[in-house]
Structure 1
Amino acid sequence: MLAAPIPANEAERLAALHSLRILDTSREEAYDRLIAYAARTCEVPIALVSLVDANRQWFKSRIGIDACETARDISFCGHTILQSDVFIIEDASRDERFFDNPLVTGAPHIRFYAGAPIVNEDGLALGTVCIIDSQPRSLTPLQIDALRHVADHVGLLMEMHRARQHIADYHAALEAYREKAEEERQLVGYLMTRMMSPQQLDASAIDYWMRPTESLGGDLIAASRSPHGKYYVLVADSTGHGLPAAVNLLPISRIFYHMVEKNLPLSLIVEEMNRSIREQSPVGRFVAALLLCFDAFNRSVEVWNGAIPVAVYLDLDGRPLRRFPPANLPLGLDDGEQPPRTELFQWQQEGQFFACTDGLLEAPFDGHVTGEEALDALLASVPPAGRLQGVRGRMEAVFLETPPHDDVSAMLVDVRKL
């Protein structure tokens, strides 16, 4: 038997694995479903998600085997993490590396093995998705490709696990300051600044205005460009005001930036945000939100609207060309039974995308609440170059006499500058 050599980057690899805080955690349905698919597609009785620790391989998910771990020095997966692609042994009893391996000579009597490395964003192989049979066999090209895809999806689940751990750390930090109101306020103010990522909001394509009713608001505007060049925008309005509303936005901010960096679809971002709010926020807390994904190359924008009242594409004269009414429940209220409903719009002429929270619609204007009709007229009355700031100037003049009762936020994306 030949044990697998230790990778040259072993210390870095183990540090990355341990930073996930996933070893020795409970089984999860999402992983079980993926390896069940791998076993079914490849027609084998055993499938595993195996994470290779310093002296053992530990199974996050397993089908067809009772053991939850084995020694690393007899593992097949120790060899797989050294590979750049799927590692296949068609008959281990005839392979000089494995013929006298205890896992071959004894239970589970491995003959066939195939493993795809699980690689993180830094290119470190943390473990494998592997399939096993007690009979010699081979895989078709389609089965090999399916095994690769399952390993990729497991890697994504592990990255989401990391993100949830970071979010939990944020909540733990906030809880530690619960009895120190002023320190807590300062901390959340700092986190709000981090959530906004002003360096990305300062891009020339987006203009925004936020006016909280207290020192901390429950509104959030965030923007980030993916590695593929798409431009994502988030507008969020949390229930309540001040500190409680601001804290409710922490989970979705982290998820937004992390998942945009991964080039993930809008629907997946929405699902993860909704799940996080439902699991981590107090009962009765929810977040109205709008997510946009601009693709300048294809002159299109994908829109998910969960209870944001105004989302509209304007021509350069400020006339509405397409409205995007709320088509989904707010984050935290959706039970997740139905997939998120998004809308794809391709613009034929250059224009601007405008959105605002209900604080602007309900603000006083000319003796009445602003409303969509008055807002349309206000937008059309201001030149495109300074449209949002023109609206802000007029509304701030009104607020000098009658302050708004809710946080006011608005943003405008000029598609010519994407």
Structure 2
Amino acid sequence: MRLLHTSDWHLGRSFHRVGLRDEQEAFLDHLVTTARAERVDAVLVAGDIHDRAIPPLHAVRLLDDVLHRLAALDIPTVLISGNHDSPHRLGSGARLIARAGIHLLTDPADCATPVVLTDAHGDVAVYGLPYLEPALVRDEFAVPRADHAAVLGAAMDRVRADLARRPDGTRSVVLAHAFVTGGRPSDSERDITVGGASAVPVSLFDGIDYTALGHLHGCQTLTDRVRYSGSPLAYSFSEAGHRKSLWLVDLGPAGQIDATRLDWPVPRPLARIRGRLDTLLTDPALGPHETAWVEATLTDPVHPEEPMARLSARFPHVLSLVHDPERADATGPASYAQRLSGRDDQQIAEDFVTHVRAGQGPDAAERAALRAALDAARVRRAAR
């Protein structure tokens, strides 16, 4: 059986306030094209379909369109809800939609009720474990503590119990949305530590022929049988080094796994550049980044005038600007607290300005403004 594993679409999300509707529509087109060209038997989507619980209308339409197209190809599609999704909204009408081969698995109580697919070698039981928020599902799974490992472990116990009752030779697939030990996070995933420790051991999925994971945005192999597909698009500059892709998984008659990584088309590359503004504006080595989405870190000791406008002249798609000044003075006290010792309020204020501006102290007008502000504060304090 041939499976296409993807996740973390985050439909409706933007990138540094730049809308990604066209880019998301393009990757959904690519998904349908790939599913048809590779003659897949099922598409697996391991959560975070939308970027928020109440998605914008265009995101709802994108999902509706791609599911109609997959159904028209008679390709069963199994989706679970992630921590960004509303399981109730995403799962609305699930039983009716399942008649078209689109299976929305969003209810934790149904985690041991698989979608059963069949090929020439027998049945494949596909179990969906939507994102399990420990505080919300603790009672459902009757676990002694509300943490991710406990609730996911209890859910997997139910999966194994159901699998044990099925005919010999039944192969198994699990979709789960979780942070599994060994995975490498990026800056764009929402923290899921609320409700207990976030990471769960990969051993929870022992005995399952293939586990299709979602949540982490980098494509990763934890074991031959446990993989993250990653997000199809980058949603933070921490993903600049990612190779965006999905897994084409062939599940053999005895549960053998042969996984091939298929690249997604990149709509626009990401680039992180660093240096003084004048260097960034003139360095010919940075020429290839002129068409990329750019995060620029300026190392000028003093913040330059209008840096974003000047950078945009060369890098029209610069989206993020960070000022991390070079520290010219590496001598002096070991800590800021030591620099405060024995100084009056004016000296402390001036020293603070010097500290945050990498050694560039206040000029005469700035010193006068600091003195006036401190005098006004003393007057207000005395009047209380």
TM-score by length of 1: 0.25
TM-score by length of 2: 0.26
